[in-house]
Each structure stands twice: as C-alpha cells, then as structure tokens.
Structure 1
Amino acid sequence: MSVNQAIQKRKIGNEGLEVSAIGLGTMTMPDNQDSIDTIRGALDSGVTLFDTADLYGTGTGTEAFLQKRFGDNEKLVGKALKGRREEAVIATKFGVTHTQGYKGDPAYIKKSVDASLYNLGIDYIDLYYQHRYDPNTPIEETVGTLADLVKQGKIRYIGLSEAPADIIRRAHEVHPITAVETEFSLWSREVEDEILPILKELGIALVPYSPLGRGFLTGQIKKFEDLPVNDYRRQYSRFQGENFTKNLEIVSLIEKMAEQKGCTTAQLALAWLLAQGDQIVPIPGTKSLKRVQENFGALQVSLTDEDLAAIERISPKGAASGSRF
C-alpha cells in the first residue's frame, strides 16, 4: 500500500469540507527549499490540510513567530503549493497584531483577508480562522463580516482559534463554524472540560495544534540542553527544572507502551488524539518530510479500550507539570 493510499480522510464541520485525518502545521518552517520540498512532499503523501497564519514569519527558533514580518509564512506556503492549489485545503488566520492586541472589527478583517490572499497567491481561502477573540468587538459582528466574505467567495469556511465555549456558541448562531483550532494533546487536555463537548454538540471540528506537546511527546527530547539555544520552547515552564523531569517520566511510560504496540511515541500520542472523536484533525508541525510520513503511521495504530485506559492511567488530565503557555 502506498503512503497516499493509507491516508484517511475526515469530514470537518457540517458544510461538506473533507481533509486528510492529519494535517501539517507550517509555523516554524524557515523560508528555504527544504521547507518547500517538505510541503510538496506532504501533499504528494496525502496531506491536504495546510495551516498557516498572517502572524507567522519564517525563520528558526523564536524568530519563526515573533519577528515583525506579517505574511512571510503565508508566502512560503503559497509558493510551495503554487500550481497545485486545488489539491490543498489552505487554512490561515487573522486577528493577532504586534502592537494593537487582538482585532476582529470589520475594517481590520477586510484588510487582513485581502493581504492573506495576496501573500498566498490564491483567489480564495478554504478555512479562515479568527486567531484570537477580540473582546472589543462583539463576536456576532466579526462572524457577520466573515459570513459576507463567504458570500463574496473570498473564503469558504469559518473557524475560530482558542475561543471560549460561550463565544463558539454565539458565533455558530450567526454562521456555521466549521472548525476550532486549539492546543490539545496528552499533556494539554483542558479542552475536554467545555470545548470538546460543545464542538461535538454543534458538529464543529477540533483542529489541535501542538498535538505532540511541542515535540516533548515524540520522546526525542531527553534533557533541556537538547533544545537549541534560540528555541522558543526554552521559555516554557514545562521544559524547565522539576517540571521537565516530571514530564519526562510521563513520556518514558508512553515510550514503553509504544514499544509494546510496535509504533513510535509520536504515533501513539497522535493515535490517542484521533481516538477522541471523528472530527478531530491534528496539525503537527515539522520541517521534515520524514517526520510528516512518520506521523501518518498513527493512522495505522489501533487502540483498544484497554489501551486507552492504560494511556489514561499514564497521562490523566492535568498530569503535565507547568503551565501551557
């Protein structure tokens, strides 16, 4: 069986959008030929969902998303997918600024969507997320503007990112929300309290970012020094001191279970995530095509009820030490 044949599809939302069961997050990709080859190779291998944002730059380490060059990552994705646009579902985001906080007013949205279309070099955006909720603009006004963009053909589907449950419900009453993107993994399970239930109720997909715990759940990080000196993860409490040690103990147990299942630690973590619902599509980020294809192996990992119970004992909700951000 070829890699492409092995890729499962999942329907997200109730409006007909279908994507590969695992997508690709591009946030940390540098602007070089290797990244272009990885994106194109992912498409060849069966990935159809590619996730970016106007906020993301291109570079390495902290520069990847903190440099003040809006749209660079979108340009990279657009360049990589040029000539193959119809094969890909392109998701991007608006609403986080470097100097004005979160923005969701109509004028800002209209300016942002045109900029993203230009950066990506495309005529329409498949899935357009509000990156963060703007407390100064009613969500009804934001989603109403996005609904107008759907009518104009500039975007196809509407998404929210890191939105609270009440905002999701209010937004969905204005126009169907197709997906909510938020962090979800074996060590970030907060969404299980309120977000996941409302998404299942309303038929909205969950698109988890950092599904491998920012790389920690791959089992490749054994000590703090394994992180490059300019790596943004060095700033996260989960990667520091006693938190690191305690979290490593959890990963070690997951590694042992993965060995018993004949898969990698990352594949087991992704398989667990996929088992949490039919409309869950994780978007692990990587610069390596080899890792993209390894992640696909999660689709071949079958977890029994006993397996899921064992994973729950290893990493119950709230098990991770340190804050999420």
Structure 2
Amino acid sequence: MMNRRTWLQTAVATAGAAALPQSWAQSLSGRGQLITRAIPTTGERLPIIGLGSSATFAQVARSEDHDALKAVLAKMTELGGKLFDTAPSYGASEEVAGKIAQELGINKTLFWATKLNVAPRGGKADADAARKQLETSFKRIGRPVIDLVQVHNMGDIATQLPILREAKQQGRIRYLGITTTFENQYAELIETMRTQQVDFIGTNYAIDDLFAEKTILPLAKERGIAVLVYAPFGRARLWARVKGQQVPEWAKEFDATTWAQFFLKFVASHPTVTCITPATSRVANMVDNIGGGIGRLPDEAMRKRMMDHINSLPNA
C-alpha cells in the first residue's frame, strides 16, 4: 500500500532529492505562528497540528530505535506543537513516548491524550481492568494528571465513561471523550454526543473522507465538543492518488507548498476541528505537518476547488 514513506521514497527515486520541496529541509521560522483553536468547554487553546502514534510512530517504538522518535517529539514542541495522541493499544508508543518526554524535559508541557480500550468490540468492559489500564497510563506518562483520556472506538460507554468522570472529578484527568474511526460505530458516536457530556471526540476526516461533515462536526459545534482528527491523509489512500502529481500552483494562495500541507490545510480549514494528529517517525515529516497549520487557510470556494482537483485524479 502506498503510504507517505513509500511515496517519499518513490519521489526521491524518480525526481532526486533536490527536487523535493525545500520546506521539508528548512526551518519554519519566519513563516508565522502555528494556528490555535479553543477547547469549547474551557477556552484553553491548542495548536492545530499535533502528533499521533498509531502508525509509523508505533512501528518505530516497537523496534526500540527511539532516537528518531525523540527527534520528532523535540521538533514538534520546538515548532509550537503540543498535543500528543496515544493509546495503550498502540504497541509501545505510550510507554516509549512517556520516557522520551521525561528525558527531553517536555513531559509537563505536552498535552497528553490517551485512551481506555480494554473492552472487547461490542462487548462489556471489565471495570477493574479499565481502572488498572488507566493507572498504567499514569505510570507510563509519568504525570499525576493526564490532560485527556477517551474511550477508544466506543468501547463500553456505560462502564468506561463513569470511570473517566470519576477520575475527572478527582482532578486526575482534565478532559474526557470518545473516539471512533469505524463507519459501523458512527451512529453510536453521534448518539453519545447527543446524550452524554464529553469534552472531546476523535474521528477520521480528510479531503476524500467527508462523512464527518454531514453530522459529526455540526453536532460537535452545537454541543460544544472539541474535535481531534485522525487519518487526515485519507488512511494513506491520498498518497497513492497524488503519486507523480505536482501540488497545484494555486495552492500557494493558502500557503501550501507540499501535498501534506494541502491535505492538512483542508482539514484545518473546517472551523470545528480543534487539532489534527498525523502520525510520523520522521523529523522532515513533522516539520512538513507543522507547515499545514501555519499561514492562510482555504475559504469555502478554495475548499471546493481542492476537492474537485483530488476527485479529478485516479482512484487509489
């Protein structure tokens, strides 16, 4: 499957390293500040680009080659990023990132987002196991307070949300939420958003994956719920679609010079999106991703032009 790494390797092989966008190898200093968005329930602001750990980050964490991950986390914070999204199910990501953040001295400044995911899909969670998993996350992250914990892929809402509410009341977590990127769980996500008080949701949204625009994002705005976006590169399909294609010249009108910035700026231009969390284990990609949250964003007319352009390309 064509993902960002294989897309980059192909680009190097076919065009030569000198032909790659210069912004990947340059500092973003002088290009402006990273856009921030407010968490509706408190007004606290988060940089719109964060770092996820469910894909390449998790793979490298398992390999025990942690220097690359240390460099990525350091670069994110250097460039103004703050939110790191992880989960106990993402291999060694939570534990490794916790150690790295403490080594770098950024543990207290990161906005930590992790999850509860001990429920069998569609089954009932063991409350004691959920509490034990939460305690393990505290130990791994190395902080007495975790910023955000979400019920992963809807889990067992009836069992797990009360556990998170209890932890929030105790001051041990600051925000709670729910996540899913599975189509067959969207109805449950929407119902929970309507009937439960949650601070955050996490779901998939991309230029070629627009379901969230129909109900989820409007409902989040109505209910005052922050939105973390997963899979902003269309579950990697977009890299296959743009293989061999140049970023259109008109993308410079909203300060996008690479495909990653093109895709991320489309997502960021939806005003209900709070933070986007693409995963990477490469510093160059982290720099590129941060560029997707700096400068101008496309307006509605430009968003349509962007969609039309992607739709004109062959399907992956």
Deviation at 1:88, TM superposition (A): 0.8
Corresponding residue of 2:93: 73
Of residues 196, 201, 206, the one that matches 2:222 is 201
Q: RMSD of aligned C-alpha atoms? A: 2.9
Of residues 254, 258, 268, the one that matches 2:262 is 268
Question: Are 1:14 and 2:41 an aligned pair?
Answer: yes
Corresponding residue of 1:232: none
Of residues 303, 311, 314, the one that matches 2:309 is 314
Corresponding residue of 2:80: 46
Report the Cα distance in structure 2 between the residues aligned to 1:202 and 1:46, rounded to whole angstroms. Answer: 28
Deviation at 1:24, TM superposition (A): 0.6
Asked if the contact 1:13–1:179 (Cα under 8 Å) also holds between the matched residues in 2, the reply is no
Pairing of 1:50-69 with structure 2 (within 5 A): 50-57=84-91
Deviation at 1:41, TM superposition (A): 1.8
Corresponding residue of 1:286: 280
TM-score by length of 1: 0.73
Pairing of 1:184-199 with structure 2 (within 5 A): 184-199=205-220
Question: Are 1:26 and 2:21 an aligned pair?
Answer: no
SS at match of 2:149: strand
Any unmatched runs of 5+ in structure 1? Answer: 58-71, 222-246
Pairing of 1:151-230 with structure 2 (within 5 A): 151-162=169-180, 164-170=186-192, 173-174=195-196, 176-217=197-238, 219=239, 221=240
Report the Cα distance in structure 2 between the residues aligned to 1:178 and 1:320, rounded to whole angstroms. Answer: 39
Any unmatched runs of 5+ in structure 2? Answer: 1-27
For CA contacts below 8 A with separation 6 or more, give which structure has more relative contact order.
2
CA 1:302 to 1:190, structure 2 compared with 1: closer, same or farther past 3 Å? closer
Corresponding residue of 1:233: none
Asked if the contact 2:269–2:297 (Cα under 8 Å) also holds between the matched residues in 1, the reply is no
Pairing of 1:102-141 with structure 2 (within 5 A): 104-134=125-155, 137=156, 139-141=157-159
TM-score by length of 2: 0.75
The one-letter code sitting in structure 1 at the alignment partner of 2:210 is: R
Question: Are 1:92 and 2:119 an aligned pair?
Answer: no
Asked if the contact 2:81–2:290 (Cα under 8 Å) also holds between the matched residues in 1, the reply is no
Asked if the contact 1:23–1:282 (Cα under 8 Å) also holds between the matched residues in 2, the reply is yes
SS at match of 1:22: coil
CA 1:86 to 1:201, structure 2 compared with 1: closer, same or farther past 3 Å? same
How many aligned positions are there? 272
Corresponding residue of 2:5: none
CA 1:172 to 1:190, structure 2 compared with 1: closer, same or farther past 3 Å? closer
CA 1:212 to 1:171, structure 2 compared with 1: closer, same or farther past 3 Å? closer
The one-letter code sitting in structure 2 at the alignment partner of 1:87 is: T
Of residues 55, 71, 93, the one that matches 1:37 is 71
Report the Cα distance in structure 2 between the residues aligned to 1:73 and 1:204, rounded to whole angstroms. Answer: 26
CA 1:304 to 1:191, structure 2 compared with 1: closer, same or farther past 3 Å? closer
Corresponding residue of 1:224: none
Report the Cα distance in structure 2 between the residues aligned to 1:154 and 1:275, rounded to whole angstroms. Answer: 33
Report the Cα distance in structure 2 between the residues aligned to 1:5 and 1:307, rounded to whole angstroms. Answer: 21
* CA offset digits 1:75-120 (Å, max 9, x no partner): 11101211322211000112156xx446545323211100111122
Report the Cα distance in structure 1 between the residues aligned to 2:262 and 2:194, rounded to whole angstroms. Answer: 33
* CA offset digits 1:207-247 (Å, max 9, x no partner): 11111224443x5x5xxxxxxxxxxxxxxxxxxxxxxxxx4
SS at match of 2:276: coil
Deviation at 1:8, TM superposition (A): 2.0
Asked if the contact 1:207–1:282 (Cα under 8 Å) also holds between the matched residues in 2, the reply is yes
Report the Cα distance in structure 2 between the residues aligned to 1:86 and 1:35, rounded to whole angstroms. Answer: 18
Report the Cα distance in structure 2 between the residues aligned to 1:214 and 1:167, rounded to whole angstroms. Answer: 20
CA 1:165 to 1:254, structure 2 compared with 1: closer, same or farther past 3 Å? farther
Report the Cα distance in structure 1 between the residues aligned to 2:227 and 2:298, rounded to whole angstroms. Answer: 20
